[in-house]
């Protein structure tokens, strides 16, 4: 009733589906967050290269995740919503899909699912693991419980040293743990929508644009201040703003109008951007278009305390990257980007405006692409390790 579920597909969360299971071996992968989910198609393609006959089932929980993956699904891949972690739903789901391998790219773990997978002798692996000291300390209160669950995985790949230490403190054998960095470093470029991109390009009529991606309210305070300065120098510039939560689009539009901007929400049939100073995206799955149209961007979640969002998405699409000071979710990754002179830290609105107006900012794009392409090597290694877990694979 609150619109949080897909009205046509909510039954999938009860383990019910009208989608037939394909013949042959099937690998099931699950992720909860949009960012983690969008990192999995690259892994699927790598595993698929090892055996083109494999089929893949990709699950997630939120309605927005289904919208995000719609244009990014690889061949031979089906998307479904993950059922609730209750025995009846879990058994119904596994009876239907009968996977040969279960891969979890997930911060949380689901006891009923893991127990039933183990009972059915279906191999499991945890990848892209991340656990802070705070999270690890909270799990210590139920150490035996978590130790028993993590023991069910054949191996656990984690993003950083801290995560490796926290898993070990929970009783995971160190020889099961490997530090691989973030899975997002090896992700494919976000999918394009060429026809829609051409329509939007025509609507812009050659105007200069910049993109603020995956933004939150704390980011937008600085973004709006910076855009005022950009407009003073280049009055015809259009800011494309993609909030992390697209349901905020109407509120953002009103806020921008209150600040004196000409703001509009980008609709599919909205073909006239004349005079629009801020165009707001109100749906998931559009960044593949806009990273291709914009040559410079700000990556959000980094002016508040959220810890920043994914720099690899713009890096793979030749878009110069700026970000705020709080990027703890990608601390090692951004440090690497800075070592390679591939991203720009901005501390406030003035800094952001000066960066956007600096022609040298665009020279960071080539370096960012190089950094992003290096992430493919770790992904190939993960794909090989997972492929070895399939039944009847030659060792």
3-state secondary structure string across the chain: CCCCCCCCCHHHHHCCCCCCCCCCCEEEEEECCHHHHHHHHHHHHHHHHHCCCCEEEEEECCHHHHHHHCCCCCCCEEEEECCCCCHHHHHHHHHHHCCCEEEEECCCCCHHHHHHHHHCCCEEEEEEECCCHHHHHHHHHHHHHHHHHHCCCCEEEECCHHHHHHHHHCCCCHHHEEECCCHHHHCCCCCCCHHHHHHHHHHHCCCCEEEEEEECHHHHHHHHHHHHHHHHHCCCCEEEEEECCHHHHHHHHHHHHHCCCCEEEECCCCCCCCCCCEEEECCCCCHHHHHHHCCEEEECCCCCCCCCCCCHHHHCCCCEEEECCCCHHHHHHHHHHHHCCCCEECCCHHHHHHHHHCHHHHHHHHHHHHHHHHHHHHHHHHHHHHHCCCCCCCC
Q: Return the residue matching tokens 């990192």.
A: 39
The correct CATH number of 10-188+376-387 out of 3.40.50.11720, 3.40.190.10, 3.40.50.2020, 3.40.710.10 is 3.40.50.11720
**What tens digit of pLDDT does each residue of 4-40 get?**
777 788 899 999 999 999 999 999 999 987 778 888 9
Give the pLDDT of residue 395. Answer: 43
Residue pLDDT, tens place only, 186-209: 888 888 999 999 999 999 999 999
Residues of the chain with CATH 3.40.50.11720: 10-188+376-387
Confidence at 222, pLDDT banded by 50, 70, 90? very high
pLDDT digits (tens, 9 = 90+) for 325-378: 999 988 889 999 999 999 999 999 999 999 999 999 999 999 999 998 777 777
Q: Where in the chain is the domain with CATH 3.40.50.2000?
A: 194-373
Q: What are the pLDDT digits (tens) for 252-308? A: 999 999 999 999 999 765 568 889 999 999 998 899 999 999 999 999 999 999 999
Query: Is the backbone of residue 384 left (phi > 0), alpha (psi -120 to 50) or beta?
Result: alpha
Class at the top of the CATH hierarchy for domain 194-373: alpha beta
Q: In the predicted model, is pLDDT for residue 138 greater than 80?
A: yes
Does residue 105 have a pLDDT over 50?
Answer: yes
């Amino acid at each position: 009733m609150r619109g949080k579920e897909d009205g046509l597909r909510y039954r999938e969360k009860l383990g019910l589906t009208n989608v037939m299971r394909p013949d042959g071996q099937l690998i099931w992968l699950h992720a909860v967050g949009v960012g983690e989910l969008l990192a999995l198609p690259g892994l699927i393609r790598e595993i698929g290269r090892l055996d083109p006959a494999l089929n893949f089932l990709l699950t997630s929980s939120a309605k927005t995740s289904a919208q995000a993956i719609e244009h990014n699904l690889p061949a031979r891949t089906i998307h479904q919503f993950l059922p609730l972690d209750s025995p009846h739903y879990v058994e119904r789901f596994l009876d239907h899909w009968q996977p040969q391998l279960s891969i979890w790219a997930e911060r949380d773990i689901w006891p009923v699912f893991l127990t039933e997978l183990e009972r059915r002798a279906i191999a499991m692996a945890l990848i892209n693991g991340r656990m802070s000291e705070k999270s690890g300390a909270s799990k210590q209160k139920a150490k035996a419980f978590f130790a028993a669950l993590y023991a069910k995985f054949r191996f656990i790949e984690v993003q950083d040293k801290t995560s490796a230490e926290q898993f070990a403190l929970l009783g995971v054998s160190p020889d099961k743990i490997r530090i691989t960095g973030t899975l997002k470093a090896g992700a494919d470029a976000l999918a394009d929508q060429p026809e829609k991109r051409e329509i939007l390009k025509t609507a812009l009529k050659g105007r200069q644009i910049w993109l603020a991606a995956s933004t939150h309210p704390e980011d937008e305070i600085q973004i709006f201040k910076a855009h005022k300065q950009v407009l003073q120098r280049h009055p015809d510039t259009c800011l494309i703003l993609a909030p992390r939560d697209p349901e905020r689009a109407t509120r953002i539009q009103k806020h921008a109008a209150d600040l004196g901007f000409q703001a509009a929400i980008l609709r599919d049939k909205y073909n006239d951007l004349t005079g629009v100073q801020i165009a707001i995206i109100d749906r998931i799955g559009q960044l593949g278009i806009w990273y291709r149209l914009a040559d410079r961007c700000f990556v959000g979640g980094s002016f508040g305390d959220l810890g920043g969002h994914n720099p690899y998405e713009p890096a793979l699409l030749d878009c110069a990257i700026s970000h705020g000071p709080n990027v703890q979710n990608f601390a090692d990754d951004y440090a690497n980007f800075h070592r390679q002179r591939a991203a720009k830290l901005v501390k406030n609105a003035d800094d952001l405006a000066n960066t956007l107006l600096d022609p040298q900012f665009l020279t960071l794009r080539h370096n960012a692409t190089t950094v992003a392409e290096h992430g493919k090597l770790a992904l190939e290694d993960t794909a090989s390790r997972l492929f070895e877990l399939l039944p009847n694979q030659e060792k």
